A = this chain, B = another copy of it.
Amino acid sequence: MGGDHGPAVTIPASLDCLKNNPNLKLILVGDEVVLKDHLSQALVDFADRLSIRHASQCVGMEESPSKALKNKKDSSMRVAINLVKSGEADACVSAGNTGALMATARFVLKMIPGIDRPAIISTIPSIFGHTHVLDLGGNVDCTAEHLFQFAVMGSELVKAVENIDNPTVGLLNIGEEEVKGNEQVKAAAKLLENSSLNYIGYVEGDSLTAGNVKVDLIVADGFVGNVALKSIEGAAKMIGTVLKEAFNKNIFTRLSGLLIYPVIRSFKQRIDPRMYNGASFLGLNGLVIKSHGGADALAFKTAVQLAEIEVSKGVIRKIGEQVETILSKRESL
């Protein structure tokens, strides 16, 4: 039911995913009447892989997380997360209210022992392909220990999803020199240097998209990570706008724009934000993926596919095991 467009987007995207992956099963959670109305034929076509779970409430996009948690015990996101808790579902994907989704996921699924706060991780296109980055807004005022926990969890996700043994981890800072940065970042660097992670040091904001070397995972506190992500989104939008204006200048430039349509198309595909949609909540006993609220069907499909990949790779289980290993090592010191 969530997102700016609701079932008009989530349902076509879901059906597309079912078509593409014969092993996928989806439970659509929300107002039964609305969903059935959209689904009549699909419920027959995918009889064994598609079902509906009724939820009588819906969390508004502007509702406060605490109110949603208190007053919306039968909301579509609550019921969907309950399915993950009970084991009926392997993951929950939602385009709904981020704060409410996070609060509900935390309340229902609980934290992995040893992790203090859930973090939000996603990917950003880069000249090397893409970069994983966390935290993207779940946590402000992080301690060094929180940043370290983010790095541990993020590394496990990158290992599993990218099929690499030893992902490189950078810490977002305002310079690459050791003396730079705030106290939390400097202390986090010490923790990372003494860990088994493949920590490569401080990286600056440009490393998210176009640094000198490929960095698999970049760790930041949620305030900084969120500002960086939004700044990149804004820059891309600004450049797109200026480019459009340049092509719309006169009849000649407009015609030349038509000529290079194939180039612009391949360029757009490469950095299309819809191909990067889907942010995973890490640190919970269960997989919850947040789609952008404004996602269209293609973007929402990307988020569902991300859930498929993370489930098949056992990301949540691997994170739990890794955190346990690190904790027991600390205790034995």
Q: Which residues of A pack against B, CB within 8 Å?
A: 64, 125-127, 137, 140-141, 172, 174-175, 179, 181-183, 204-211, 220, 222-224, 226-239, 241-243, 245-247, 249, 252-253, 256-257, 259-260, 262-264, 266-267, 270-271
Contact = CB atoms under 8 A, between A and B. Distances in A.
A126 B211 contact: no
Contact of A174 (B126, B140, B262): B140
Contact of A267 (B182, B229, B235, B246): B246
A234 B207 contact: yes
Contact of A231 (B64, B125, B208, B266): B208
Given A205-B229, A206-B234, A206-B237, A223 B182 contact: yes
B230 A205 contact: yes
SS class, residues of chain A in contact with chain B: helix
A248 B125 CA distance: 19
A137 B239 CA distance: 24
Given A242-B267, A246-B270, A230 B256 contact: no
A26 B264 CA distance: 46
A235 B249 contact: no
A238 B126 contact: yes
Nearest to A221: B182
Contacts of A270: 242, 245-246
Contacts of A234: 205-211, 232
A239 B245 CA distance: 17
Contacts of A241: 127, 210
A247 B222 contact: no
Contacts of A238: 125-127, 209-210, 271
Nearest to A233: B206
Nearest to A261: B256
29 contacts: A125-B242, A126-B238, A140-B174, A140-B182, A141-B183, A174-B223, A174-B226, A204-B226, A205-B226, A205-B230, A206-B230, A206-B231, A206-B234, A208-B234, A209-B231, A209-B234, A209-B235, A210-B235, A210-B237, A210-B241, A224-B224, A227-B231, A236-B239, A242-B267, A243-B267, A245-B270, A253-B262, A253-B263, A257-B263
